[in-house]
Structure 1
Amino acid sequence: MRAAVMQGLHRPLTIETLPDPTPAEGELVVQVGRCGICGSDLHMTEDAAYGQGAGSVLGHEFAGEVVALGRGVEGLALGDRVAVSPLVSCGHCPACRAGNVSWCDTFGLQGGGYAEYALTRPNQCVRLPGSASLADGAIIEPLAVALHGVAMSGLTIGDKVLVLGAGPIGLAVAFWARRRGAGRVVVQDLAEWQRDRALAMGAHDFVVDAQDPVGAAGRALGGKADVVFECVGVPGLIEQAVQQVRARGSIVLLGLCTRPDTFNSFAMLSKEVRLITSAFFTAQEFVAALDALDRGAVEPRLLVTETIALAATPDVFESLRRRTHQCKVLIDPQG
């Protein structure tokens, strides 16, 4: 099979031919139909903290068709179209049975979507309804990540919500916050690229003001935010969020940051701000993201800005290191 393969940190991906995967007992093979390029994929090629290196095949946002079943696999059949959760777990422990798969003792993360075929397990697969395309299946993972953050936040109807960062996660947070009854949703970014997309996905306003980000957000919200979602993952944004949230409000960290950060804990303590971290999602939230699409939500599909062939992946991947109009690029490994 063809795959886009890491050559090491700070080196471009290359297209290589690898052996087709063969499922062992309890495994299955998916012919990948669509796979999203995630910002964390870019980070994995830049930062050793993610544990990826030469020979790795990235891609954790993918959907496709079941083409091979290992011995003992039940509940799926050849030809089923599935969205694949990248959260690897045993599937039968108490945490797994409750849907909290990231707390399984055998928890791990799966890649492999930047290829024509990928191995996975049946407990990671959710069948796609007839209303959902393979592209829909590939955006379920970021939608579920955002939904988990909103669920963790304790957001209530009428709340003022500030989203820092207009990437796919930030835009998906705006979608869910508006859908769950936020009274006002403002997205704040350093560039205007995603203004129209943010407004179409549910934001009431979009703010760009490098000179006075705190004041600009306050004016757009009509006061301090009840909840601030940090969806970027760069040092300094926690401290900014402390200034932007109301007393006894909440800050939810969704952005991945592997660099040390500092902030004034006294300012946070004096306002009794809740600092909440949000990682991954539950099995129920993964299904809920698909259900939203199945029930007619069109806004999340606006995340997708381009679909490319596998052969174009190395060049497009490198181009995404620079901020552009792109939001979510999908790979079609069969194209």
Structure 2
Amino acid sequence: MRAVVHQGLHKKLALETIAEPSPKEGEVLLSVGRCGICGSDLHMTEDEAFGVDAGAVLGHEFAGEVVGLGKGVERFKLGDFVSVVPIASCGKCPSCLAGEPAWCEKMHLQGGGYSELAVTNENQCVPLPKTASMADGAIIEPLAVALHGVMMGEQKPGNKVLILGAGPIGLGVAFWARRFGASKVVVQDINNFQENRAREMGATDFIVDLEDPVGAAERALGGKADIVYECVGVPGLIPQAVDQTRVKGTVLVLGLCTRPETFVPFVALSKEVRIQTSAFFKRQEYEAALDALDAGAAEPRALISDTINLDAVPDVFESLKKRTHQCKVLIAPKG
């Protein structure tokens, strides 16, 4: 089969022909319909902290059609359309049974979506309703990550919300923040590439001000934010978020940053600001994101800016390492 393969740190991905996978006991074989290119995929090819070896096939935001069944698979049949929860786990421990596979001792991130075929565990598959497309199945994961962040932020109706970063996660947060009753949802970025998309997703305002980001946000919100969602992962944004948060407010960190961060704790302490991190999602949140799409929520589909075939992936992947007008790029392996 054809697949886009990681060549090693700081090297360009390459399209190769590799052996087709076979489903083992408890696994299903999927013909990949759509797979999203995630910001964490970009990190994996540039940062040794992720421990991704050369030869790996990336891609954890994917959906597909069941075309093979391993021994003992009972919940699915050939021809079923599914979205993949990309967190492999034992399925039996207290964390797994509570719908939190990310905290299972055997947890690892499922890859393989940058290919024509992929195998995954039966218990990681969520059936797609007839109303949901393969593209819908591929954007559930970032929507679930955003939903988890909003839940961890303990947002209340009427809150004034500031979102730093207009990438897919930041825009997903805008969608959920509005659904949960935020009175103002301001998205702040260093350029206006995604302004129209942000407003479509639920933002009440979009600001770009490199000279005075703190003051610009305060003017747009009419004061300090109740919650600031940091969705970029660049050093310097946590202390900025603390400045932008009200007394006893919350800074919710979703941005994936692997570099050192420096700030003066007293600034946060003096306002009793709560700094909360958020990673992954619960199984229930993944299913809730699918339910929102199934119920007719059109806004999340605005995340998708491009759909490309496997041949285009290496070049597009490189382009995404720099800020572009693209948002969520989906791969159609057989398109």
- TM-score, normalised to structure 2's length? 0.99
- Match for residue 266 of structure 2? 266
- Match for residue 320 of structure 1? 320
SS at match of 2:102: helix
Give the residue type in structure 2 aligned to 1:316.
V
SS at match of 2:175: helix
8 Å contact from structure 1 (residues 45, 53) kept in 2: no
- 1:295-306 paired onto structure 2 within 5 Å: 295-306=295-306
SS at match of 1:54: coil
Structure 2, gaps ≥5 residues long? none
Give the residue type in structure 1 aligned to 2:154.
G
Correspondence 1:228 to 2:209: no
Distance in structure 1 (CA, Å) of the matches to 2:277 and 2:227: 13
Distance in structure 1 (CA, Å) of the matches to 2:309 and 2:253: 33
- Match for residue 34 of structure 1? 34
- 1:174-189 paired onto structure 2 within 5 Å: 174-189=174-189
- 1:1-335 paired onto structure 2 within 5 Å: 1-335=1-335
Distance in structure 1 (CA, Å) of the matches to 2:79 and 2:150: 34
Structure 1, gaps ≥5 residues long? none
RMSD: 0.6
8 Å contact from structure 1 (residues 89, 108) kept in 2: yes
Give the residue type in structure 1 aligned to 2:185.
V
Give structure 1 regions of 4+ aligned residues with deviation exceeding 3 angstroms.
none
Distance in structure 1 (CA, Å) of the matches to 2:48 and 2:56: 13
Q: How far has the Cα of 1:53 moved from its partner?
A: 2.8
Give the residue type in structure 2 aligned to 1:176.
W
Q: How far has the Cα of 1:106 moved from its partner?
A: 1.1
Distance in structure 2 (CA, Å) of the matches to 1:314 and 1:199: 31
Q: How far has the Cα of 1:100 moved from its partner?
A: 1.1
Q: What are the superposed Cα offsets for residues 6-44 of structure 1, whole Å, 9 maximum, x if unpaired?
A: 111111111001110011111111110000001111111
Give the residue type in structure 1 aligned to 2:122.
P
SS at match of 1:191: coil
Distance in structure 1 (CA, Å) of the matches to 2:102 and 2:317: 28
- TM-score, normalised to structure 1's length? 0.99
Distance in structure 1 (CA, Å) of the matches to 2:76 and 2:90: 17
Give the residue type in structure 2 aligned to 1:10.
H
Q: What are the superposed Cα offsets for residues 32-62 of structure 1, whole Å, 9 maximum, x if unpaired?
A: 0000001111111111011113101110100
Give the residue type in structure 1 aligned to 2:167.
G
